Amino acid sequence: MINKVVRPEVRSMERPRHGGDVWDDLDVKDYSSNVNPLGPPPRLEQYIIEAASELHCYPDDSCARLKGSIASRYGVGADNVIVGAGSAELIRLFAEVFVSPGDRIVIPSPTFAEYGFGCRLMGARLVDHVLPCDQDFKLDVAELAGQLDGAKAVYVCNPNNPTSRMVGRRDLLDLVDEAARKRTLVFLDETLLELSSRSAELSLVPEVEGHENLFIIRSFTKAFAMPGLRVGYGFGPRKMLQYLEAGRLTWNLGTIEQRVATRLMEEEQEHVARAVRMLEDEKRRMHARAERLMGKVPMPDSYFFFAPLDALGVASAEFRQHMLRHGVLVRDCSSFGGVCSGYTRFCVKTPEKNDEFLDALSSAVDDIAEGRS
């Protein structure tokens, strides 16, 4: 019976795969997820304990204090802010509110799988804008804009996951303007931009009120290295957020999440800034060593590498297994589809942790060479 009543979109759905899958083996060192290399702020546990004293009351459904702290940090109005149980909830909510069966949705490929998953769940027709691997997967915004005729929405991840490529602010604004002329919504994911030294330069958050078709998401997960505590936030024009608020889950953030996230936003920005300063130098040092071991590795725009494996002669899943034998988890990129099965993704961390990664990489490369001899 159940097969006859389930929505047709759901029958063939497969859940997206992601990195960070070490919850059952905490001895493995995780380089597959792109979070703050300094870890959570030292006072995070204290914030959680203090917030736990308020659990006898329902949480504030409006999340007013948290929205106010986010608005103050980014210089926008509180009614330009929405919060969710991680940015993943906001990705799903955007599709639930704005995407209807048969809608044409344009998404660069490869990119974060949750965009397409949420749109397919709503019955959309996805159009893949394939990023050229021979040009380091750089996004040509003019070419992307040329595909927007009849599109309900276009998705852009900046920097892009998994390719680590960034798009300039002027190019993004041109895309938003062209999309507006074609009555297309722009979903811009800036969750990985917070840990970049170019965040203020590239972010479109200050532009949301002046562009009725623009929605932006960010997350506490990356900046504060707390993926186990689900808090994400988004920015948009007031009218758009009214519709998103109408459609969201009631009490989507509990009291602990609201209180802790408010304190992090207000009191722990220097923790993020320290990580940003360190990541730039470490990225260059790590790049030089990785190239000696793996052959040509493109310099990432962000703080994580998307490295080809052709010089090693292994696929992404196999390379992941070689690294796991040395206690290190990297991202198997085959789930991104296409040519990505020939790439791996790994992040930059502290100098000591990067040395551990490079030692493991050297051993894995030796193992691969021995296996081929």
Residue range 224-235, pLDDT digits in tens: 999 899 999 999
What is the rounded CA–CA span in Å between residue 224 and residue 194? 10
Task: Give every CB contact of residue 52 below 8 A, 6+ residues apart in sequence.
Answer: 256
What is the rounded CA–CA span in Å between residue 166 and residue 317? 26
Quick: pLDDT tens for 103-144.
999 999 999 999 999 999 999 999 999 999 989 999 999 999
Burial of 288 (0-12, 13-18, 19+ CB in 10 A): exposed
| Positions in the chain short of pLDDT 50 | none
What is the rounded CA–CA span in Å between residue 71 and residue 81? 7
3-class SS of residue 157: strand
Token pair for residue 230?
């689900």
C-alpha 196: how far from chain center: 13
pLDDT at 107: 98
Question: For residue 216, what are the β-bridge partners?
Answer: 188, 235
Q: Tell me if 2-40+270-372 shares its fold with 44-268.
A: no
CA angle centred on 320, ends 318 and 325, rounded to 5°: 100
pLDDT at 22: 57
Token pair for residue 94?
């955007």
pLDDT at 373: 60
Domain spans of the chain?
2-40+270-372, 44-268
Task: Give every CB contact of residue 318 below 8 A, 6+ residues apart in sequence.
Answer: none
pLDDT at 20: 59
Which of the 8 DSSP states describes residue 19? S
- Quick check: 127 and 155 in contact, CB under 8 A? no
What is the rounded CA–CA span in Å between residue 125 and residue 319? 34
44-268: what CATH class?
alpha beta
* Pair type for strands 29-30 and 328-329: parallel
pLDDT at 208: 96
2-40+270-372: what CATH class?
alpha beta
pLDDT at 329: 95
Q: What Rg value do the Cα atoms of the chain yield, rounded?
A: 21
- Please give the C-alpha separations between residue 208 and each of 119, 177, 215, 219, in angstroms, as whole numbers: 22, 12, 7, 17
Inter-axis angle of helices 44-51 and 255-267, nearest 10: 140
